[in-house]
Chains A and B, each alone.
Chain A
Amino acid sequence: MKILYFAWLRERLNMSEEEVSPPPEVTTVRDLVQWLRSRSEAADLAMQKPELVRAAVDARIVDHSAPLAGARIVALFPPMTGG
């Protein structure tokens, strides 16, 4: 699965995307954020406020309870500031 990062998440992690293979117990966006945090100190710090991490699965905005089954691209980003 590919993870995309945007804005200050991208900067704090120093990458715009990465390819990951989470273990089978990672079934939701919430699990994925926890798992990513457990893998690196930078990710742990960057995502320490999960309410500031928004997600899209295969280019659809979802909440943290959304399932990851079949997901190819998961995007993680801060609250949007468009317009």
Chain B
Amino acid sequence: MSIRLQEASFDPGGETNAFIAEGGSAGAAVTFTGLVRSAPDDPIKTLTLECYEDLAQSQIAQMVAEAIVRFELLKVSVIHRHGTLQPGEPIVQVMTLAPHREAAFKGAEFLMDYLKTDAPFWKKEATPAGQRWVEATAEDDSARARWSDRDGDQ
């Protein structure tokens, strides 16, 4: 597994290609990239992510280890940025490698759901009207909760 916490931007395509190149003949690779959103009816100027790095490292390592066992993944990479980002920039990239697509998709989705609620990052948006902390949502909690069911297929 590879876990990188960084302020610097990264190239999602380059990361994906490197991940696949190291994947040998596994069969299925899934990449999810989370981007800084700014919608016309809710524009933001910047997104700042605060991070508790010591805890983030151990929390993400724990969730990746669980995903590897649970979905029989062959390889996982998580890149998560912190600091101040512009709309359209990549925030997070999760990549999974597995023999078949179902495990690769599910593993990536599981990891994203856990990152939302269990990785110690806090997002603050700068909008034309001022700054605001992004609140944790019930949707994020229920997305994570569905994996508590042992099958994990909702």
A28-83, CB < 8 A from B: 56, 59-61, 75, 77-83
Interface residue ranges of A1-53 to B (CB < 8 Å): 4, 6-8, 10
A80 and B121 contacting across the interface, CB-CB below 8 Å: yes
Cβ B118 vs Cβ A81 within 8 A: no
Contact A81:B52 (CB < 8 A) given known A7-B133, A60-B58 = no
Chain B residues 102-135 with CB under 8 Å of chain A are: 112, 115-124, 133-135
A4 touches B52 (CB 8 A): yes
Interface range, B side: 20 to 34
Residues of B within 8 A of A75 (CB): 52, 55, 120
Contact with A along B6-34 (1 / 0, CB 8 A): 00000000000000000000000000001
Contact, CB under 8 Å: B120 / A77: yes
- Which residue of chain A has the shortest Cβ distance to B53 in the bound complex? A59
The one of B34, B54, B112, B122 that contacts A80, using a Cβ cutoff of 8 Å: B122
CB distance from A72 to the nearest CB of B (A): 12
Chain B positions 67-124 with a Cβ under 8 Å from a chain A Cβ: 80, 91-92, 112, 115-124
24 contacts between A and B (CB under 8 A): A4-B52, A7-B50, A56-B52, A59-B52, A59-B54, A59-B55, A60-B58, A61-B59, A61-B118, A75-B52, A77-B120, A77-B122, A78-B136, A80-B116, A80-B121, A80-B122, A81-B122, A81-B135, A81-B136, A82-B118, A83-B34, A83-B112, A83-B116, A83-B119
Residues of A within 8 A of B (CB): 4, 6-8, 10, 56, 59-61, 75, 77-83
